Amino acid sequence: MQKLVLASNNAGKVKEFKALLAPLNFEVIPQGELGIPAAEEPHYTFVENALAKARHASAASGLPALADDSGICAHALNGEPGVLSARYAGEPADDVANNQKLIQNLLAYTDRGAHYVCALVMVNSANDPEPLVVQTRWYGQIVDRAKGSNGFGYDPYFFLPELGLTAAELEPAKKNLISHRGLALRELISQLQSRA
């Protein structure tokens, strides 16, 4: 199995990536297990932040690294919370507070459209001149009441009209098929295979 450092310590993301990458013979190692601290994320775009995280994890470990930067963008709020999704309500990161702030900020709007974004970046080394870069979107709506217990982050409030369910009501295997992260990973896998 090829070792791959995941530039995240988010338990939900680690679980999803391990499940999605297991069939490809990648041993996914969260950066925290190697004592690698989180990278700075000063950028305004998901792609730039993901690239910074991947290069940081690869430099610290000497291994290939995979990073994602993801979040939710509410259309009525001009894309907020965007890259600030994890800490929308401030430090420390708190899913309950983040969701409360998002719903409060949307009260004045009838447009509840939103989309999750996932930017995935994989580097073979810290100075890789050709990182693999993928960015995908998953569309839905923000609802006022939480439903489901399978997801994390904004999932209990992210409603999928075509399914009549929130992301947190989906079985994990189903979510991995249709989510922003699942779509991005499949596209990344396609790019990896085309390079082989």
Q: Which residue among 69, 94, 95, 111 is the active-site one?
A: 69
Phi-psi region of 85 (alpha: psi -120 to 50; beta: other; left: phi over 0): alpha
User: What is the DSSP annotation of 125-171?
Assistant: STT-SS-EEEEEEEEEEE-SS---SS--TTGGGEEETTTTEEGGGS-
Q: What is the DSSP letter of 93?
A: P
- Partners of 6 in beta bridges: 30, 66
The reply to whether 68 belongs to the active site is: no
Q: Which residues are catalytic?
A: 69
